[in-house]
Structure 1
Amino acid sequence: MGRRHSVFTKEELEDYTDLTYFTKREVLIVYSKFKALAPEEVGRDKEVRLPMEIMLNYPELKVNPFGDRICLVFSTSKDGDCTFEDFLDMMSVFSEDAPVSVKAEYAFRIFDFDGDDMLGPDDIEEVIRRLLGDETLPPSEIAQLVQNLTAESDLDDDGMLSFAEFEHVVAKSTDFEQAFRIRL
């Protein structure tokens, strides 16, 4: 066990627990999961930045239709490559202990494909397409879904969802918190 602690200084571990929803033990578990993605690279340099292609090998990201968006949102680089700290932030937000408000903020950013701080029809259509996966719907049905979702959630009738409107939808969702979680 002492050997595992030698990866981080006591101060680093304390900082990580202060800045996340994890205990020291959980930080070390997250580190071991990060290291398992590229054992040699991470073993040589714990500050290494792993390419998105490697990050997408993490089982929960591999099966998630938004895996690339998750990497992009949590990465401190524009290309989605992640450091351990990026990965730790991601895992913290997806943890059981992260508040729904924090989860909603990141979900909004993940779904905001064009980065304009609004979920417009194109963003919602892309969310639907990704959720459908290999299933396809005629364009008219997708357009109808986008229209229905927007009509149901767009409280100010501007044709887009602001973060406040998205947060309102999330608050009504009984399974959002379960869906936006990765267990250690």
Structure 2
Amino acid sequence: MGNKVAAFSEEQLNEYQACTFLTRKNILRAERLFRQISNDRWPEVVTRECASSFSVPYSSLDSLTELKENPFRRRVCQIFSTDGSASLTFDQFLEMFSVFSEHAPRDIKAIYAFRLYDFDSDGYLSEQDLLHTVKHLTLDLLNPDEYSTIVAKVLEEGDVDCDGRISQSEFIHVILKSPDFVPNFHIRI
């Protein structure tokens, strides 16, 4: 392939393909994007240690075309960041694109969607979590009564055990019935 140096060995590419829902082409495209947002500080040849430790800050991730229009872009980066800072290593970056790929199973997508909306990370979607979610989705353009109505309706639909909150299993049960969920929980790389 000309003078271009491959960032990964064949073995590394095979490992990434085996543990993600991405194609080889997707992995190489993700690496090029990561290289761009790292301001070329990303090495030409990448070791496993580097891929799991070298991170880029959220301020760089925020500029990605693939995330720029997503109202949850910071939250997306936070849930893939092990420390919640929204800075991502290459491995975390790849995991993000893997979960949002068209090849990721619906149940995996549903688990990550739940995490995305569980703002306080307590394992439940409370009224406050739902309010944050709706505000993100509507770009905070509704009035308080409209928000209350929407949150109440979501709880009515999803809170099967009537405990005032939606558990992960309740969420997955409801969300997987939505025909629009999988096509909308997608980031093309």
Q: Which residue of 2 aligns with 1:157?
A: 162
Q: Classify the secondary structure of the residue corresponding to 1:148.
A: helix
Residues 124-180 of structure 1: CA deviation (Å, up to 9, x unaligned)? 000011111152x22122112111110111100011111111111111111111111
- Following the alignment from structure 1 to structure 2, what is the Cα–Cα distance between the partners of residues 134 and 4? 46
Q: Does 1:52 align with 2:61?
A: no
- Following the alignment from structure 2 to structure 1, what is the Cα–Cα distance between the partners of residues 123 and 157? 19
Please show how residues 8-23 of structure 1 align to structure 2 within 5 Å.
Answer: 8-23=8-23
Please show how residues 3-82 of structure 1 align to structure 2 within 5 Å.
Answer: 6-43=6-43, 46=46, 47=50, 48-82=54-88
Specify the code of the residue in structure 2 equivalent to 1:12. Q
- Following the alignment from structure 1 to structure 2, what is the Cα–Cα distance between the partners of residues 80 and 45? 25
Q: When you count strand as a share of all residues, which structure comes out higher?
A: 2
Question: How far 1:44 sits from its partner (Å)?
Answer: 6.3
| Match of residue 115, structure 1, among 117, 121, 130 | 121
CA RMSD, aligned part only? 1.7
Residues 90-129 of structure 1: CA deviation (Å, up to 9, x unaligned)? 0000001000000000010010000001000000000011
- Following the alignment from structure 2 to structure 1, what is the Cα–Cα distance between the partners of residues 20 and 67? 20
Specify the code of the residue in structure 2 equivalent to 1:178. P
Structure 2: where are the runs of 5+ without partners? Answer: none
Q: Which residue of 2 aligns with 1:171?
A: 176
| Match of residue 99, structure 1, among 102, 105, 109 | 105
Question: How far 1:3 sits from its partner (Å)?
Answer: 5.6
Q: Classify the secondary structure of the residue corresponding to 2:103.
A: coil
Percent identity over paired residues: 38
- With normalisation by structure 2, the TM-score equals 0.90
Q: When you count helix as a share of all residues, which structure comes out higher?
A: 1
Q: Classify the secondary structure of the residue corresponding to 1:41.
A: coil
Answer whether contact 1:4 1:28 (CA < 8 A) is retained.
no
Which deviates more from structure 2 when the two are superposed, residues 138-147 or residues 101-110? Answer: 138-147
Q: Classify the secondary structure of the residue corresponding to 2:104.
A: coil
Specify the code of the residue in structure 2 equivalent to 1:171. L
- With normalisation by structure 1, the TM-score equals 0.92
